[in-house]
């Protein structure tokens, strides 16, 4: 969806739309959409600035990075963005702190679809976990530790460090 700056009415442009994205457009691998991304929001023009405010919701299926089981991840995120025309700013060699919050549009239009995809990707956790208490897979047998199906005895020491331990013990 392209928003043409000149066509934004004085009272603002209401946005209510579903967006369909391919799973490979997401930054998290092996993520599957369970429903389309729904966006509710408004776009207002104040002089050359365009203010876009809204909320996006969807449900995704992630793979837990500890136990490798799929889990549902609901997204309900608000965004508040300010756009300026790209040619309004003189190029700078170094960005200042206030420049970091500015976004720019080109050719008197804004591609809302790419903005929504970016905002969606920003909601993802760094390490998707099915729960905070997930213990992951057993490093010995590969069974899920959460389910209690692992009966392996885990040695606390790494055999590769045995020489270092004897060296440190002898030095004391």
Are residues 83 and 162 located together in one domain of the fold? no
Task: Report the number of distinct structural domains present in the chain.
Answer: 2
Q: What is the pLDDT of residues 48-75, one digit of tens each?
A: 888 889 999 999 999 999 889 999 999 9
Contact in structure between 16 and 1 (CB atoms under 8 Å): no
The percentage of residues in the chain with a pLDDT greater than 90, rounded to a whole number, is: 23
pLDDT value of position 168: 80
Are residues 105 and 53 located together in one domain of the fold? yes
Torsions phi, psi for 99 (to 5 deg): -75, -20
Instruction: Quote the domain boundaries for residue 163.
Output: 135-172
Are residues 74 and 139 located together in one domain of the fold? no
pLDDT value of position 172: 67
Is 135 a residue whose pLDDT tops 90? no
Least confident stretch, 9-13, 52-56, 131-135? 9-13
Are residues 128 and 141 located together in one domain of the fold? no
Are residues 25 and 42 located together in one domain of the fold? yes
Are residues 159 and 128 located together in one domain of the fold? no
Can you tell me the mean pLDDT for 12-20?
A: 89
């Amino acid at each position: 969806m392209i928003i043409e700056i000149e066509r934004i009415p004085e009272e603002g442009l209401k946005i209510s739309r579903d967006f369909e994205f391919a799973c490979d457009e997401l930054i998290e691998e092996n993520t599957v959409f369970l429903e389309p991304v729904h966006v509710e929001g408004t776009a207002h023009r104040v002089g050359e600035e365009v203010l876009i405010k809204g909320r996006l919701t969807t449900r995704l299926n992630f793979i837990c990075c500890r136990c490798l089981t799929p889990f549902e991840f609901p997204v309900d995120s608000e965004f508040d963005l300010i756009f300026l025309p790209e040619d309004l700013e003189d190029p700078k060699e170094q960005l200042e702190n206030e420049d970091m919050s500015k976004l720019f549009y080109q050719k008197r239009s804004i591609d809302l679809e790419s903005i929504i995809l970016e905002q969606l990707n920003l909601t993802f956790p760094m390490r998707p976990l099915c729960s905070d208490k997930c213990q992951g897979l057993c490093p010995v047998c590969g069974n899920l530790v959460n389910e209690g199906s692992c009966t392996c005895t885990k040695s606390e020491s790494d055999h590769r460090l045995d020489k270092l331990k004897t060296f440190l013990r002898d030095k004391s």
